[in-house]
Amino acid sequence: MEKAGIRKLSISDILEILGDVPQSEGLHVYMGSAITEIPFPYPYRSDNYSILLILSGTVKMQLDLIPYVAVPGDLLIISPRTINHTLEIVGNVELIAISFTLDFALQSNRSKNEIEAFEFFASKAIPKLSLDTEEHDNFVFLSRLLQQKNKERGREPFSSEIIQHTFSLLMYLVAVRYKKENTGLNPDISRQQELTLNFLKLLDAHFKQQRSVQFYAESLCVTSGHLTKILKEVSGKTAGELIEESVIIEARVLLADPALTIAQIAEELQFSDQSAFGKSFKKNTGLSPSEYRRRNSSN
């Protein structure tokens, strides 16, 4: 049943497909040649966070089944829990892709304010931002500096510190634009945000096997009530809702593959049987799995 799941690609997997060479553990800055064909023609998840800035061309894609069209100046924010599916590439697409793990981000952003700048990855409220000319130029400049220093890591004194501070500047740059487009954010959620990010990391690894809020709360050394309260404040959804959402998104993507039977999908998602899967899916979508598959295939 391993083939039935959504593919999960590491930074190394993605770089191999793109023909790029890893720079350092936990961080990679991609600024390659123009892309004319879709490098990943299938839905996949990555185990890292990514910030993509479109420099030229147009990318049509789905993030958790929601369609987006990204044009030059658009910034895409993608977390490990996001199912990515590139649908179409128009023209010669050039982009900057900054990929990094949660561990790298938390190690590089240790102060309260720096962790707050990372908050947009947990809320997922606005996955696409549009940069103005000044923001665009600053992002490109800092990305080039970060790539250069990341490639040269360890060759000069303070190279790690330069990388950390350049990365932090990029986070702040994105955070400024994010806050302009979402002015209702709580300005003091650094510890809550870190808890949310760690919950999302656990959820990505265990949502098929573990549907209990208590499992995640115990793993994070907090009570179930506290975890649910914080997740509601930060993401707008409770722990139970986020767990259920992950399962249903996975189910919808798997149902789009006609090679998989509904029974196989139920097994992949570790429901007790096909009937239990059907009841859960209909409760969340209003449709049975077979009805959803019929409507999806006819679109």
117 and 69 Cβ atoms separated by less than 8 Å: no
- Res 204: pLDDT: 80
Mean pLDDT value across residues 58-62: 93
Q: Is the pLDDT of residue 148 over 90?
A: yes
pLDDT digits (tens, 9 = 90+) for 104-113: 876 665 554 5
More confident residue, 135 or 192: 135
The pLDDT of residue 205: 81
Amino acid at 95: L
Cβ neighbours for 9, distance < 8 A, ≥ 6 positions apart? 17, 40, 44, 45, 46, 47
**Which whole number is the average pLDDT over 118-139?**
80
Q: What is the pLDDT of residues 73-128, one digit of tens each?
A: 999 998 877 888 899 999 999 999 999 887 787 666 555 455 555 666 665 556 88
- Helix ranges (H only) for 207-299 are 213-219, 224-235, 239-255, 262-268, 274-285, 289-298
Q: How far is the C-alpha of 103 from the C-alpha of 29, rounded, in Å?
A: 16
Query: Which domains are seen in the chain, by residue range?
Result: 2-181 (2.60.120.280), 190-298 (1.10.10.60)
